[in-house]
Structure 1
C-alpha cells in the first residue's frame, strides 16, 4: 500500500539554483522515444527517480560565454551533463528550449531548471555508473503507464513533459512543434487533497491561493494514490 502523501512546509527564504535538463529524442519502431536515466537510489536529491540528463549550472558554464546570459549557460550545462551522465555529444545550437520549471519554496534543494529537447545522436549510451545507474529508451506513454503501475518514480515536471511529448510520432514533428511556441514557465504550488496531492500551475483557478477546491479553469497535476493525471483546460493560459 502506498504511503500517504505529505508536503514540506513552504519557506520563502529558500533560494533557487539554476539548472538545466535535456530531453534526448529518437524515432523508434513504436513512434517517438526518449532516453531516460535512473538516478542512484542513494542520492539525497531525486534518488531512484527516472530523469533526463541534467544538473546545476556550474560557474564554468557561466564564464564560458557572456556572464549575464543564463540561458546560454544553461545550454552549456545541458550539453555537459548529457556527456557526463550518458556519453552523448550534443550541439548547443540544436537544443530547443521549451519550458522552465521553478519548484515551490520548501526546505530542500530548489533547482530552477531550463528544459531543452534535441535529437539524440546515433551513438551508444554510456551511463556514469555513479550518479546514474541505468538507462532505457521509452515512449512517453509507456513511461507514464509504468509510473502509474508504481514500477518507476517520476517527478511532476517529468510527467508533464512526457504528457506534452505523447501526441508526437516523430522527432521532427516534436521539435518543430516545441520550437514554434514560446518556452513556457511553470512555478509549482502544491495543495493536499483526499487521496494525495495536487500540483497547481498558472491559469488554474486555485493557483493563487494554493486551494485545489476553487471552482474554475484547471491547470494541474493530480498526484493521487490511485494514479497521476494532468488536467489542463483550453482557457487556462495554454500556449
Structure 2
C-alpha cells in the first residue's frame, strides 16, 4: 500500500465503492448514471464521494472507506460489506477540481437498489465485458479510472475470483499526453510519465483518441 508520504498534499479525499455481485451470466458491477450537470456529468460511475466530517477513521484510507459506504447508501440505497482497498487515483494537473480518490472492492448485501433522485439518474448491474462493449460502441460515457477498473475485472468470473487476485493497492497519478492520434492517459511506469517513468518502451496508458479505447501495460 502506498505510504502517506507518497501522496500529494493539499488534495481533498474521496472514497469509491466498486460493488460486485455474482450472477448467472458472470460477475456484475454496479454502475450509476450521473445527471447531465455537475461532477462527471452524463457519465456512468461507481458509487462514491468526498470524505465528510462524520466519516470517521484512524487515517485517510479508513475515512475514505467510510465515505464509500455512506455514499453508496445515499446514492444507491444499499448496504455494502467487506471493503478492500484496490487503488488510489490522483487526477492530472490540468483538472481544475482535483480530488484524490480511493477505490474499494465491495460486495452488496442483498438490498434492492433505489437511486437518489436528482443525484443519480439510473443504476445498472452489468458485467465488466458488457460495460466496456457499450462504451466502445459509444453508448456509455466512462472516465478512465472507471474504465481501467472494469478492464482489470475482465479475467474474473466470480467475486471470489476477483478478491483472490487482489494484490498491493496501486497508486495511479494520472498524467496526460497529447498525441497526433488523440489524448493518452499515463500512469506510473510508462516511459513518458514525467515523475515516475519506466524504461524505454514501457507502457501503462490508455489511448482515448478513438473508440474502442486501448490499454497498454508492460
Same-fold status (TM-score > 0.5): yes
**CA offset at residue 134 of structure 1?**
0.1
Kept after mapping to 1: 8 A contact 2:19/2:80: no
Tell whether the 8 Å contact from 1:200 to 1:210 is kept in structure 2 after alignment.
no
Query: Could you tell me which of 103, 128, 143 is aligned with 1:155?
Result: 143
The structural deviation recorded for 1:16 is 2.0
User: Which residue of the partner structure matches residue 50 of structure 1?
Assistant: 44
Change (3 A) 1:107 1:165: closer
Q: Verify: 1:33 aligned to 2:28, yes or no.
A: yes
Among residues 186, 189, 192, which one is paired with 1:203 in the alignment?
A: 189
Distance 1:123 1:226 in 2: 35
Q: CA deviation at 1:230?
A: 0.9
Rg larger in 1 or in 2? 1
For 2:5, the equivalent position in structure 1 comes to none
* Per-residue CA distance 1:156-181 (angstroms, 9 max, x = gap): 00110001111000011101212xx1
How far the C-alpha of 1:14 sits from its partner, in A, is 10
Q: Structure 1: state its 5+ residue gaps.
A: 1-12, 234-239
**Contact 1:101–1:114 (CA under 8 A) maintained in structure 2:** yes
Residue 15 of structure 1 contacts residue 110 of structure 1 at CA under 8 Å; is this kept in 2? no
Query: Is the counterpart of residue 73 in structure 1 residue 63 in structure 2?
Result: yes
1:133 aligned residue (113, 116, 121): 121
Shift, 1:107, TM fit? 4.6
What SS does the aligned partner of 2:190 have?
A: coil
| Unmatched tracts of structure 2, length 5 or more | 1-7
The equivalent of 2:16 in structure 1 is: 21
1:181-200 equivalences in 2 (<5 Å)? 181-200=167-186
Q: 1:209 to 1:192 in 2, by over 3 A?
A: farther
Q: RMSD of the alignment, in Å?
A: 2.0
Matches within 5 A, 1:106-125: 106-125=94-113
- TM (norm. structure 2) is 0.91
Structure 1 stretches (4+) deviating beyond 4 angstroms? Answer: none
1:22-73 CA distance string (max 9 Å, x none): 0110111211110100011122x21111001100011211xx343xx11111
Size of the alignment, in residue pairs?
210
**8 Å contact kept, 2:188–2:196:** no
